[in-house]
Structure 1
Amino acid sequence: MSIADLRKDYQQASLTETDVNADPFEQFGTWFEEALKADVAEANAMSLSTVNAEGRPSSRIVLIKEFDHRGFCWFTNYDSAKGQDLATNPYAALLFFWTALERQVRIEGKIEKITAEENDAYFHSRPLGSRQGAHASHQSQPIANRAALEEQLVAVLEKFGDQPPRPEHWGGYRLVPEKIEFWQGRSSRLHDRIVFTRNADQSWSITRLQP
């Protein structure tokens, strides 16, 4: 079979304008809970796309750690490639793809850093190894080999033991959405696409898009 012949006809569910919650955050919460109940692998994984100073896009998978009516949060090294992109161009896009439910959620908006207090609270809730790793890895920077990375970890263990503080260069971002699209796979590629767009008065407009 050739790659061109790989396809799946989506038939599990539908999505109409009357189906969706008028609040896109509530709608996202409903779908997220359904993904968890369906045991979707890595339901909290999302593709994060950023653009650098040269206008070149880059995508990677990160894990959502919190969402509410303010936006969608994740944590990382601020000096990483994505951190440098966001310092130059504070706009990004997120994509959730829950294959088992034949659903996608696309989110676009502006980025803001979360508070030091929020960063500290989450950092100290992480497993010890993850906290130590945040010190050991100079994310996105070249390194000679795995042994060199492990040597950096040993140095962190010797310096901080089991009480590593949060590094100043480590923390969270929040994407404040301007657009959220809910995509439900349908038969014959005639998918349902309902998009919420934020208005100047912070209300939301709801529109169906053609697939």
Structure 2
Amino acid sequence: MSIADIRTDYTQASLSEQDTDADPMAQFARWFEEALVAQIREPNAMGVSTVSADGRPSSRILLVKDFDQRGFTWFTNYQSRKGEQLAIHPHASLLFHWLELERQIRIEGRVEKVSAAESDAYFHSRPLKSRLSAIASAQSSPVADRATLEARYAQAEAQYGDQPPRPEHWGGYRLQPDYVEFWQGRASRLHDRIVYTRAPDGAWQRQRLQP
């Protein structure tokens, strides 16, 4: 079989304007709860796309750690590739793909750092080894070999024990959405797409897009 012949017809569900909440955050919460009930593996996994100074996009998978009316929050190294790109262009797009439910959610908006207090609270809730790894790894920077990385981890462990502090270069980002699209797979590629865009006055406008 060639790659061009690989295809799946989506038949599980449909999505109409009447099915969706007027508030996209409430609609996201509803779909996220359904993903939990369906026992999807890591339903909080999302693609995060940023853009460099010369306009080149890059994407990676991260885990959303909170979402509410303020937006979608994740944590990472501020000096990583994505952190450097967000410092230049503080906008990003997120993508959740729940194949088992034949659903996608696309989210776009402005990104800002969360408060130091929020970053501290989350950092100290993490498993100890994850906290030590955040100290040991200069994320996105070259390293000679695995042994060097593990030596840096051992050094952090010896220095801080079970009380590692949050590094200043590590913390949270929050994306404040101005575009949210809910995609439900349908048969014959006539998919349902309901999109929300934020108006200048902050109100959400909802419409259907062609697949």
Aligned residue in 2 for 1:32:
32
**Aligned partners of 1:34, 1:103: CA distance in 2, in Å?**
11
Answering whether residue 160 of structure 2 is matched by residue 160 of structure 1, we say: yes
**Aligned partners of 2:129, 2:32: CA distance in 1, in Å?**
28
Aligned residue in 2 for 1:140:
140
| Runs of 4+ in structure 1 over 2 Å off | none
Aligned residue in 2 for 1:204:
204
Q: Structure 1 vs Structure 2: percent identity of aligned residues? A: 64
Aligned residue in 2 for 1:77:
77
Structure 1 residues 44-89: Cα deviation after superposition (integer angstroms, max 9, x where no partner)? 1000000000110000000000000000000000000000000000
RMSD between aligned residues = 0.4
Answering whether residue 183 of structure 2 is matched by residue 183 of structure 1, we say: yes
**Aligned partners of 2:85, 2:30: CA distance in 1, in Å?**
31
Aligned residue in 1 for 2:150:
150
Residue aligned with 2:95, SS: strand
TM-score (norm 1): 0.99
Q: 1:42 deviation in Å?
A: 1.3
In structure 2, runs of 5+ residues without a counterpart are: none
Aligned residue in 1 for 2:104:
104
Aligned residue in 2 for 1:15:
15
**Aligned partners of 2:206, 2:44: CA distance in 1, in Å?**
25
Aligned residue in 2 for 1:58:
58
Q: 1:125 deviation in Å?
A: 0.4
Q: 1:158 deviation in Å?
A: 1.3
**Aligned partners of 2:37, 2:128: CA distance in 1, in Å?**
28
Tell me the matched-pair count. Answer: 211
**Aligned partners of 2:161, 2:55: CA distance in 1, in Å?**
42
Aligned residue in 1 for 2:87:
87
Q: 1:41 deviation in Å?
A: 1.3
Q: 1:17 deviation in Å?
A: 0.4
